[in-house]
A and B are shown apart, each in its own frame.
Chain A
Amino acid sequence: QKEVEQDPGPLSVPEGAIVSLNCTYSNSAFQYFMWYRQYSRKGPELLMYTYSSGNKEDGRFTAQVDKSSKYISLFIRDSQPSDSATYLCAMSAGGSYIPTFGRGTSLIVHP
């Protein structure tokens, strides 16, 4: 079993839809949870960062962490074609500086 599991998709949705992207993990030591967005032929960029359990909201994006279930989610409200990208979850343990990445989910938002 991989430490971080993420469905590669692709996930295709119409413009305006609510998108839910998810990752599961097996390492209970993970405390720091990140979502990176990667446009085609570009490097990933940090989108959201959450420490421990709970929710974090930034504009149309909400990150959720459920440590009891070892499950994290990224919600995108009112999705736009410009949100079309690959979304990678990443997580790290306290004291560790090396994040473990998921495979990434390819999201396509069509007009």
Chain B
Amino acid sequence: NAGVTQTPKFRILKIGQSMTLQCTQDMNHNYMYWYRQDPGMGLKLIYYSVGAGITDKGEVPNGYNVSRSTTEDFPLRLELAAPSQTSVYFCASSSPRDRASATNEKLFFGSGTQLSVL
């Protein structure tokens, strides 16, 4: 029962390097999300997707890119890493219970990727 799987768990990058955070879910959820969590600051939405081929910006998209070619996978790309991107990154997925209103109350989260940019 894998749920949402994120890799890697830890990573250290140098300024200017690029990397992709991987996220895959096996629950056939339509919706997927990327959040970053800084200490004491809660979860900030970076990007989200409502289905394969559809992505949209969240609250803090600058410096990141995403793609959604399949229902299962939602990778997050950092092109030019900056110290401000040091954070813990969480991927999540969900499936709206009430499709008429698209209300979606339960997000399933991965275990996170701790990223440091030095």
CB <8 Å contact, A97 and B42: no
- Whether A96 is near chain B, meaning CB under 8 Å from some CB there, is yes
- Whether A6 is near chain B, meaning CB under 8 Å from some CB there, is yes
Chain A residues contacting B53 (CB-CB under 8 Å) are none
- Whether A41 is near chain B, meaning CB under 8 Å from some CB there, is yes
- Judged by DSSP, the binding face of A is loop
Q: What's the Cα separation between A99 and B104 when bound, in Å?
A: 8
Among B58, B103, B111, which residue has its beta carbon within 8 angstroms of that of A94? B103
Per-residue B-contact encoding for A79-110, CB less than 8 Å = 1, 0 else: 00000000010001011111101111000000
Whether A97 touches B111, Cβ cut-off 8 Å, given contacts A44-B43, A88-B42, A103-B41, is: no
Range, interface on chain A: 20 to 34
CB <8 Å contact, B105 and A103: no
CB <8 Å contact, B112 and A99: no
Q: What's the Cα separation between A107 and B42 when bound, in Å?
A: 14
Range, interface on chain B: 20 to 34
Chain A residues contacting B41 (CB-CB under 8 Å) are 103
Among A97, A103, A104, which residue has its beta carbon within 8 angstroms of that of B31? A97
B-to-A contact residues, CB < 8 Å:
4, 31, 33, 40-43, 45, 48, 50, 58, 90, 92, 94, 96, 101-107, 109-112
A-to-B contact residues, CB < 8 Å:
6, 8, 31-32, 34, 36, 41-46, 49, 88, 92, 94-99, 101-104
Q: List 19 A-B contacts (CB under 8 A).
A: A6-B42, A32-B103, A34-B105, A42-B111, A42-B112, A43-B109, A43-B110, A44-B107, A46-B106, A49-B105, A92-B103, A92-B104, A94-B103, A96-B102, A97-B31, A97-B102, A97-B104, A103-B41, A104-B40
